[in-house]
Structure 1
Amino acid sequence: MSSRGNPPPARRDARRNRERLLECARRAFADHGAQAALDGIAREAGLVVGTLYRHFPTRLDLLYAVLEPKLRHVVNEVEAALGLEDPWEAFRGLLEVLCAAQAGDRAFGDFLARRFPGDDRTDAVHSEICALAQRVLGRAQAAGVVRPDVTGADLFLLLWASSRVAEATRHVAPSMWRRHVYLALDGFRASNRLDLREPAWDTDQLYRAMAEPGKVFHGEEPLRRAGEAP
């Protein structure tokens, strides 16, 4: 019988198993994105995939457990950017926080691309980040430091582009995405702006792009059994 205040061995084992699964999943999702092979995660943790299934009934349960601490950190950082006195610095800080969060973390990039439809947890955090970003953008435009024709969809397109730059250069120059972001930031400035010959996307067009094949993540699928293709 376990001593008072100490969990029984089975519970301690379960907690250790969960922590190992999260550690291995964090690496796998960062390297391979939201569709990382789940049986590989279990194998790296030294466990069978059935144990993974008991702790995380769906892929999205595991993915959210991995991303949730980083998501809360990003929300806090975006809120801090919103609190900056200089509207331009707040705008620059917003984009740098979001692009830095996804650099080297393909799963977080997948989250920003909204590959997790139909889940209240991810929808709530995603909506919170979008609302904060819109406030930062609106404040910068009201101050006259960001061009008035920039939209939230334009910010998403920059995030997608920055994600590809970070992915393509990570083994040679892992910080090159910052140069790309700063070049893009210069294009957002209100002064000396060029006319944009392509209209901005509306919300419907943006969501349709997010739902293209290869971008949609079906998070409620049951975890695959060992030996099945990822």
Structure 2
Amino acid sequence: MIVVTPDRATFRGDRSTMTTTPSTEALALTSRSAQRRRPVPRTLAPDVLSHLQLHLQMELQASYDYFHLAVWFAERDLKGFAAFARQEALSEHRHACLVADHLIDRSQPVELATLQPNTDNWDSVEAATQFIFDNEVAVTASAQQIYSMAERAGDYITSVFLDGIIQQQTDSEAQAAYMMSRVRLAGEDAAALLLIDQELSRGEDGRPQLAKDGGS
């Protein structure tokens, strides 16, 4: 396996770069051919393959970052926020596994780059929840871009595969937006912040959902 250390800006830093074509320094995709274990009649288009590889790395980096956040929250005795971040770490790791499975099923190489230490210094719970929201937006945008590429390439197998991931990402993005909004409303009110933490501890999703709350 070739292990490369990507430029941190590719995965963190300026999140607007996350959905651009990855550089050769970020991922070495053409250095060797895949060791094919299975015959596959339809290979992946080069741009779809390179962006799936980048997306896999983004999911792994997000899982790493969320675990760092879980530790940050736990150190501040915010049990609910810590549980939320830990669950998100597990969710992003599962998404990475799904992408790896898809690549293997298509007899493509699974390239792994070195994860980067998280150097973000969150000075408040609001800053931490802003980070969560920005991360979800970036990962969702990446999956949507690959979906569009796959459709242009006529790769409907990959499009269908991404349907579930995009749906889950969209829900995670909405949850992150709601949590960030609640934290902003709480402001400097410690009691209000602890109330949000208790709701998260119970695993409650308190988002107002008209279709659900309206019955049938």
**TM-score higher than 0.5:** no
TM-score category (smaller protein): under 0.3
Report the TM-score, using the length of structure 2 for normalisation: 0.27
